[in-house]
Amino acid sequence: MTTFIIRRLIMAVIVLILVSLMVFMAMRLLPGDPIRMLVTQSEQQEFTEEQIAKLRHEFGLDRPLMVQYISWLGGIFRGDLGTSILHRAPVAGEILRRLPITLHIGLTAYIIGVIIGVPFGILCAIRRGRFLDTLVTALANIGITMPAFWLGVMLIYLFGLELRWLPVQGYTSPFDDFWLSSKQLVMPVICMILFPIASNTRQTRSSMLEVMRQDYIRTAWSKGLRERIIIIRHALKNGLIPVITLSGMGFSMIIGGSVIIETVFNIPGMGRLAVTSILNQDYPYVQGIILIVAAFVSIVNLLVDLTYGWLDPRIRYS
Amino acid sequence: MDGSIPGSGTVKGEGRILMANEAVISTGVAEAPPRVSEWRRFRRVFLGRILVLIGLVIIAFFVFIAIFAPLLAPYPPNDPDLASALQQPSSTHLLGKDALGRDTLSRVIYGARTSLMIGLIVVVIATIIGMTLGLVAGYYGGWTYNIIMRFIDALMSFPMILLAMVIAALLGNGMRNVIIALSIAMMPGYARLMCAQVLAVKENDYVTAGRSIGASNLRIMLRHIVPNCLPPLIVLITMQLGSVILAEAGLSFLGIGITPPTPAWGSMVNDGRQYLLTLPILSFAPGLALMLVVFGFNMVGDGLRDALDPRLRGAL
């Protein structure tokens, strides 16, 4: 197990370094120039070539690419992700301020998705072909299909504007005003949980069906065990392994979803920051956000892999 | 990510897991039913499900209106008429008019073109690049495998939509750039599935046999390995079509990608947001069309999976 953990750790570090290199190179080599963007958005009307060159120098964008990359990478280890070109503020601080907002909404959605999705999947597998199975499967199919941003807009229309039950946008920390915070959370979380619930249900259902057809389950039946014991003691152990693998993917989907949901509900989280800084071509922000997201996803996947290896010895020794 | 477990055969694609490896192993262990009955079984399972039929009808419908948009749309999609802006739905303009006085129904119809065209092109490009990378990585193994798959891992370690956003924003707006961005973002899934497939398929005796009679690597790859890797890829392609269409809509909703006058469902939903109280249909209609198309592709994808997956043989 130790070798397995070490091997996975090394792999994760390599992947992260590759990510940083790819992001950095993409930002520099593809067309798009943050200084031009800054100049066009600035209140000052005319910029001389000299002033532009000075700005470029100020942000170190005139240095050789390799030097820029190494100095950025070096900064990361000191917790410095660079300085925003547009806002002239340290990137790390702003990301840290917004990360909890995204995680608050994302994790709430993620946990609810697992709590609702997995039992539904088990129920469907046990009652395969019956009414409940058909109904839940149909709902799950609609769930993976529904465009989150459209659902968000429709919810705003229905509950925010027509019925006036919920605030249409914004975010409040639960520590400042728990009631308002919860009310603001309802619609974004609904938009975000749909996909996790649906995919957890579908995945649990199909993997449980797979397991229920195994010989050892038939043996358990023929021993005369009760259904509940067979499901809980025998089937779940193997049936949930693929679901755990999928949950890593689910986390990445949640972060991806936050980009859109935070825009719909005007939530000042990391997703919103990603959109605005991508549109403004503010390199340092984009690089920082992508690196943080990739780090989170890698850690979650590492944990998933370790759990997987721990649950299924075949993986560990392959 | 899990690609670090070579040949474990678990492929993550848009929240679904295909146990690719197992599927291949069971095909490899030749049950050898006659080909005709195989085809018949496929047809029975695939067409025997009402949801698959509904999906096929939906897809056919949207493909039809996409192709014949100029004949079907009552008005040109980009014909602004500010005097009649935000007109309520009426018998002449069934879905009303948007803020620039353009007929919403016509724009929804032309939007089908944008969506389906981008979806198809992206899936084709992503499949070709992904399959090639996966094939080379899986077939040659060793360093080739490590370099390609670590690169794929890195691409997969951030959310697909974020990756597509960054590339699209850097390349600048326009349909061509959105297609490039989405193709890059979608490609890793195919590469990983293909790689897992190849790792399993290349162990088969017929590959060794081919090699022993002196067939070249290229010949073995194209004649023996690729055809045997296809079924799970076909399933993934169908399912990804829905995801690509959703992703494109997400991008245009955020204002990245398709430039304004071109009708795109995502940007139409976004434009309509400002007029929710007076004219909610502006956001509702394009979103509904989007959902129907994605639903269609997902149902057909599910049906294909059930019909092509040998593990479910006899279960249906």
d(CA B254, CA B237): 25
Q: pLDDT exceeding 70 applies to what percent of chain B? A: 84
Q: Strand B16-19 relative to strand B10-13: parallel, antiparallel, unpaired? A: antiparallel
- Domain residues for the domain of A183 are 96-311
Statement: residue B200 has pLDDT above 90: no
C-alpha distance from B74 to closest chain A C-alpha (Å): 25
Residues A121 and A232 in one domain: yes
What band does B293 get if pLDDT is binned at 50, 70 and 90?
very high
Q: What are phi and psi of A122, to 5 degrees?
A: -60, -45
Question: How far, in Å, CA of A217 to CA of B8, rounded?
Answer: 24
d(CA B54, CA B69): 22
Per-residue confidence (pLDDT) for residue B63, from 0 to 100: 93
Q: Which two tokens stand for residue A71?
A: 């100095």
Question: Which of A19-33, A72-86, A138-152 has the largest mean confidence?
Answer: A138-152
As a whole number of angstroms, the distance between CA B278 and CA A173 comes to 32
Residue of B4, B10, B253 lying closest to A11 (CB–CB): B4
> Is B298's Cβ below 8 Å from some Cβ in A?
yes
CB contact under 8 Å between A301 and B2, yes or no, is yes
How far, CA to CA in Å, does B90 sit from each of A12, A143, B73, B274? 59, 32, 16, 21
CA distance linking residue A160 with residue A139, whole number of Å: 24
The answer, yes or no, to whether residue B272 has pLDDT greater than 80, is yes
Closest CB from B16, B160, B166 relative to A26: B166
Q: Both A72 and A106 in a single domain?
A: no
Q: pLDDT band at residue B43, thresholds of 50, 70 and 90?
A: confident
Which of A50, A77, A104 is where one domain is finished?
Answer: A77
A259 and B155 within 8 Å at the Cβ level: the answer is no
Long-range pairs for B214-222: beta carbons < 8 A, 24 or more residues apart = B217/B139, B221/B135, B221/B139
A9 and A155 assigned to the same domain: no
Smallest Cα distance from B67 to chain A, Å: 23
Among B151, B153, B157, the strongest candidate for a mutation testing the A interface, having the largest count of A CBs within 10 A, is B157
Contact A94, A270 (CB under 8 A): no
d(CA A256, CA A254): 5
How many whole angstroms separate alpha carbon B41 and alpha carbon B35?
10
Instruction: Label residue A25 by pLDDT band (50, 70, 90).
Output: confident
Give the least confident one: A40-49, A157-166, A208-217: A40-49
Does residue A245 share a domain with residue A150?
yes
Cross-chain Cβ contact B166/A286 below 8 Å: yes
What gap in Å lies between CA B14 and CA A198, rounded to an integer?
12
Contact A147 B250 (CB under 8 A): yes
A48 and A179 share a domain? no
Distance CA B300, CA B313 (A): 18
Domain shared by A12 and A119, yes or no: no
Domain shared by A148 and A11, yes or no: no
What average pLDDT does the structure give for chain A? 82
pLDDT digits (tens, 9 = 90+) for A221-240: 888 888 888 888 888 888 88
For residue A20, the one-letter residue type is: S
Smallest CA-to-CA distance from A246 within A219, A276, A207 is with A207
> Collapsing DSSP states into helix, strand and coil, what is residue B217?
helix
N residues, chain A:
318
Domain of A151, CATH number, reads 1.10.3720.10
Kind and range of the H or E element at B276?
Answer: none
Give B71's contacts (C-beta < 8 A, 6+ positions apart): none
- A 71-90 residues inside an 8 A Cβ radius of B: none
Rounded to whole angstroms, the Cα distance separating A187 from A168 reads 8
Residue A88 lies in a domain: no
At residue A277, the pLDDT reads 86
> Quick one: angle between helices A241-264 and A91-126, nearest 10?
130
Query: A244-272 burial, b if ≥16 CB within 10 A, otherwise e?
Result: bbbbbbbbbbbbbbbbbbbbbbebebbbb
pTM of the entire predicted model: 0.82
Inter-chain CB proximity B155 and A304 less than 8 Å: no
Residues in chain B with CB shorter than 8 Å from the CB of A209 are 315
Q: Work out the average pLDDT over A164-188.
A: 83
What's the gap between Cα B194 and its chain centre?
A: 16
Residue B12: pLDDT over 60:
no
- In this structure, the dihedral spanned by the alpha carbons of residues A318, B4, B10 and B13, taken in order and rounded to 10 degrees, is 180
CB atoms within 10 A of CB A22: 18
Query: Which residues in chain A (125-184) have CB-CB distances under 8 A to chain B?
Result: 141-142, 144-150, 153-154, 156-157, 161
pLDDT beyond 50 at A256: yes
Residue A89 domain-assigned? no
Rounded to the nearest 5°, which phi and psi values hold at B10? Answer: -95, 120
* Phi, psi at A89, each rounded to 5°: -115, 150
Does residue A241 share a domain with residue A138? Answer: yes
pLDDT value at B178 more than 70: yes
pLDDT at A207 (0 to 100): 85
Q: Which among B51, B165, B277 has CB closest to A259?
A: B165
Average pLDDT (B79-83) is 73
Do A52 and A108 have their domain in common?
Answer: no
Query: Does A242 reside within a domain?
Result: yes
Residues A270 and A178 in one domain: yes
List all residues 6 or more positions away from B254 whose beta carbon is below 8 Å from its beta carbon: A259, A260, A263, A275, B165, B266, B270
* Helix/strand/coil percent split, chain B, to 5: 70, 5, 25
Nearest to B232, CA basis, from B203, B205, B207, B196: B196
Task: Categorize the per-residue pLDDT at A316 as very low, low, confident or very high, splitting at 50, 70 and 90.
Answer: low
Assess whether pLDDT exceeds 70 at residue B7. Answer: no
Given this model, what pLDDT does residue B16 score?
Answer: 39
Residue type at B297 in one-letter notation: F
| Predicted pLDDT of residue A44 | 63
The arithmetic mean of pLDDT across residues B25-48, rounded, is 61
Q: What is the mean pLDDT of residues A164-169?
A: 80
Question: Which of residues A15, A48, A77 is at a domain's end?
Answer: A77
Classified as helix, coil or strand, B255 is coil
Q: Which residue has the higher pLDDT, B71 or A33?
A: B71
Does residue A239 sit within a domain? yes
pLDDT at B126: 93
Look at residues A16, A47, A77 and tell me which one is the last residue of a structural domain: A77
pLDDT, tens digit (0-9, with 9 covering 90-100), for B231-267: 778 878 888 888 899 999 999 898 887 777 788 888 8
* Distance (Å, whole) CA B305 – CA A86: 49
A244 found inside a domain? yes
- For residue A263, tell me if it sits in a domain: yes
What are B43's two structure tokens? 């047809």
- Interchain contact, B19 vs A242, CB within 8 Å: yes
Using CA atoms, how far apart are residues A167 and A267, in angstroms rounded to an integer? 12
Residue of A nearest to B256 (CA): A279
The DSSP secondary structure of B35-73, one letter per residue, reads HHHHHHHHHHHHHT-HHHHHHHHHHHHHHHHHHTHHHH-
Question: Of the ranges A33-37, A141-145, A243-247, B41-45, which one carries the lowest mean pLDDT score?
Answer: A33-37
Q: Is residue A90 part of a domain?
A: no
Contact B96/B90 with Cβ under 8 angstroms? Answer: yes
| B18 vs A92, higher pLDDT | A92
| Interface check A9 vs B, CB under 8 A | no
Q: Which residues pair with B10 in a beta bridge?
A: B19
Q: Is residue A32 located within the same domain as residue A116?
A: no
Specify the number of domains making up chain A: 2
List residues bridging with A90 in a β-sheet: A83
Q: How far apart are CA B119 and CA B51, in angstroms?
A: 22
* Interchain pair A30, B170: CB under 8 A: yes
Same domain, A175 and A58: no
Is position A177 within any domain? yes
Q: Over 60: is that where the pLDDT of A2 sits?
A: yes
**pLDDT bracket for residue B5 (50, 70, 90):** very low
Average pLDDT score over residue span A275-287: 83
The torsion angles phi and psi of A266, rounded to 5 degrees, stand at 55, 50
